[in-house]
């Protein structure tokens, strides 16, 4: 794997946007199906959040396979939600979900370690119904550290799920190649992340400027957030294809009666 220049990240974003423009409805519908599935999983008592966290790579694979289908001239269909579950590599994907859970826990530990007092003070102020600007000042350092830990970890592992699913790699091998590929293309990944954040930030500001503060604005901003989630996966797919090649096509029909 050769080192990638910063402009490669910009190309990934452009390719991701072009991919999204081909089938925005199909990719968004696939995202909604993943979201509804996540919602029902989160309703499970006690273990709902853990199960959802462990299954995140399966939802990610559904969206990435949707991108692959669009790229190969086929439609992104709802049944793609099942491709990760039906894959012989599902155990490795679930183990990756366990690592994702640990990463989230590490981020939460950082937040509470740096901003635990501020969180407690804000909770007490909220209970009294009077939150002041000073109550949230101490949250910044913890939120920044937690977000940085999770973001860096997610970027380093971003190629792991597609390598497991498409290249049939074991978890440890996929993690190794993911980390190495990201580090060798760190400028490209940093550029892609910055561009995507700027696109979202500018879009939100334009919506607020045009619509003002209203319920319609909240709905529009939430829609932009959902679109950004799809664009992230489109960008990851573009990065994967440049570094590891085009993934193989799925069979035309997935047998829903196939045992898991």
Return d(Cα 72, Cα 65) in angstroms, integer.
10
> Along the 260 residues of the chain, how does pLDDT read in single tens digits?
678 888 999 999 999 999 999 999 999 999 999 999 999 998 888 788 889 999 999 999 999 999 999 999 899 998 999 999 988 999 999 999 999 999 999 988 888 887 666 667 666 666 666 665 555 666 777 778 888 899 999 999 999 999 999 999 999 999 999 999 999 999 999 999 999 999 999 999 998 888 887 788 888 889 999 999 999 999 999 999 999 988 987 755 444 445 54
Residue pair 105/113 in contact (Cβ under 8 Å)? The answer is no
Question: Do the domain assignments include residue 240?
Answer: yes
Question: Do the domain assignments include residue 258?
Answer: no
The greatest distance separating any two alpha carbons of the chain, rounded to the nearest whole angstrom, comes to 58
Domain around 144: 7-244
Question: Do the domain assignments include residue 255?
Answer: no
The residue with tokens 């898991």 is 260
Read off φ and ψ for residue 23, nearest 5 degrees: -145, 65
Residue pair 42/48 in contact (Cβ under 8 Å)? The answer is yes
Return d(Cα 97, Cα 60) in angstroms, integer.
10
Q: How many domains would you assign to the chain? A: 1
Return d(Cα 189, Cα 95) in angstroms, integer.
24
Question: Do the domain assignments include residue 155?
Answer: yes
Scored b (16 or more CB within 10 A) or e, 80-92 reads bbbbbeebebbeb
Question: Do the domain assignments include residue 169?
Answer: yes
């Amino acid at each position: 794997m050769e080192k990638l220049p910063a402009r490669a990240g910009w190309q990934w974003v452009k390719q991701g946007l072009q991919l999204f423009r081909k089938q925005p409805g199909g990719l968004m519908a696939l995202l909604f199906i993943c979201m509804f599935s996540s919602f029902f999983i989160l309703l499970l008592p006690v273990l709902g959040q853990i199960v959802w966290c462990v299954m995140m790579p399966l939802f990610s694979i559904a969206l990435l396979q949707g991108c692959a289908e669009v790229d190969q001239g086929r439609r992104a269909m709802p049944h793609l939600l099942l491709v990760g579950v039906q894959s012989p590599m599902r155990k490795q994907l679930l183990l990756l979900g366990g690592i994702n859970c640990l990463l989230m826990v590490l981020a939460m530990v950082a937040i509470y370690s740096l901003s635990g007092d501020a969180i407690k003070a804000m909770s007490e102020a909220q209970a009294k119904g009077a939150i002041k600007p000073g109550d949230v000042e101490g949250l910044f350092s913890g939120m920044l550290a937690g977000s940085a830990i999770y973001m860096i970890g997610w970027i380093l592992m971003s190629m792991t799920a597609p390598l497991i699913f498409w290249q049939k790699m074991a978890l440890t091998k996929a993690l190794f190649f993911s980390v190495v590929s990201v580090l060798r293309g760190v400028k490209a990944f940093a550029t892609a992340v910055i561009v995507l954040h700027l696109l979202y930030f500018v879009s939100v500001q334009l919506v607020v400027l045009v619509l003002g503060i209203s319920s319609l604005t909240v709905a529009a901003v939430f829609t932009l957030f959902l679109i950004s989630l799809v664009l992230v996966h489109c960008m990851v797919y573009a990065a994967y294809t440049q570094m590891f090649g085009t993934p193989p096509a799925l069979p035309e029909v997935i047998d829903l009666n196939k045992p898991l």
